[in-house]
Every structure is written in structure tokens, then in C-alpha cells.
Chain A
Amino acid sequence: DQQVKQNSPSLSVQEGRISILNCDYTNSMFDYFLWYKKYPAEGPTFLISISSIKDKNEDGRFTVFLNKSAKHLSLHIVPSQPGDSAVYFCAARSTGGGNKLTFGTGTQLKVEL
């Protein structure tokens, strides 16, 4: 049972444009959400997070939006840069879950010149 879903395995965007990566979840107990970026042969690195009490969080070029009623979150990257090309994972944590994260399957973002 995939509790965190990233339905787009890949996304291609032109440099300077906006990248929008989507994530859906099914578990109502999730209360904290994170985005990780992963380059080949490296471990995931933290990008940005959002608590369920908020609907938006910004950090530089990265903004995460949370729609709790739809159980949907999205990551916006603007402007996109070639160095943003990586696999992006959405992850979620539930209250009392011991900080254990449940990950989606990832979206491969390619930013083209």
C-alpha cells in the first residue's frame, strides 16, 4: 500500500522556467512533510519541509504548498537551474511515528538549457 504517491516519474523543464513536482498521500495521520533531492550515487539531501499547520513554506527558489483537504502537496522551483536536475522524493511523517519517514517513488527532474 503506497501511502505517499508521486505519479509523475519524470519531468522536463527549460532553464529559467518553473518546475512543479506533485505528491499525494493517503494517511490522515501524516502531519509533517519533507522534500529530498537525490543525485546519482549519493544519499538523499534535505530540501524543504512543511508542517500540517501551514499551507505554504518558502526557502529561496523553493516553495512547498500543502492542501490538507486534498491530501496533496507540491514543490515549486523557480527559476529552475540545470543543477536542479535530480530525483526529488516527497516524504511524510506521522505523529508518534518516531521521526520515521515514508517516501514516495520519486520524480526525475531534468532542467534543460
Chain B
Amino acid sequence: DTGVSQNPRHKITKRGQNVTFRCDPISEHNRLYWYRQTLGQGPEFLTYFQNEAQLEKSRLLSDRFSAERPKGSFSTLEIQRTEQGDSAMYLCASSLGQNNEKLFFGSGTQLSVL
């Protein structure tokens, strides 16, 4: 399977714990995006990388959130001191990095904070 891969698919954690998600993009894709989706809403942009450089962060991304893409390949999204409001589907997408191109999404990580 050469699509975007996300792990884990589901994560249940207690409030205050830290969690980390991983995304493996399509191998030749330079750009990697993180989105968050809550029930009844569309995906909301969080951040994106061009290779290993993090080029933009949404104001939705509080200080408790950090994303990395250390070698320009896979990426991790960490949430520290989770809150119940962090419960959502976290989606990763990748693209080649050209104009007017589509994003390819993974199946997401569903986070539930108890």
C-alpha cells in the first residue's frame, strides 16, 4: 500500500497525559499536512511541512501541540497535557508540492480524551 499511513488508528487517553501520533506520507511527496476534524465539522488545518521545514502553523495549534518531520519523511504530532477538547480525528495528508494539486489523506487517528 503506497498511500498515506497513520498510526495508531485509535487512541484513548486520560486527561493530562501526553500522546504522539505518526504519519508516513506517500514516499515522493514533499509536503505534509496535519488537520483536525471534530464531529459535524470539516477538517481544520493545523500545520504543514515542506520537506523538514514547518512552514505554517494555525492559531488552532496551541503550545501543547508540537509537530516534527525530522528527515523530511514521516511526521509526528504530539499533544501534551491532553484536554477533553482535544478529542477529535487527526488527519495527515501529503502532496508533491506543486501548484493546484490535490492532497492525499490518510485514514486518521481518532483520539478520545477521558
Q: Which residues of A line the B interface, CB within 8 A?
A: 4, 6, 9, 32, 34, 36, 41-46, 49, 51, 89, 91, 93, 98-106
**A34-B102, A43-B107 in contact; A100/B56 too (CB < 8 A)?**
yes
Residues from chain B with a CB closer than 8 A to the CB of A99 are 31, 33, 48, 95, 97, 99, 101, 103
Residues from chain A with a CB closer than 8 A to the CB of B40 are 9, 105-106
CA distance A57 to B102 in the complex (A): 15
Count residues of B near A (Cβ-Cβ below 8 Å).
27
| A-B contacts, 9 listed (Cβ < 8 Å) | A32-B100, A43-B93, A44-B105, A91-B42, A99-B33, A99-B95, A99-B103, A100-B45, A101-B43
Residue B106 at the A interface, CB < 8 A? yes
User: Within the complex, which residue of B44, B99, B101 is in contact with A103, where a contact is CB–CB below 8 Å?
Assistant: B44
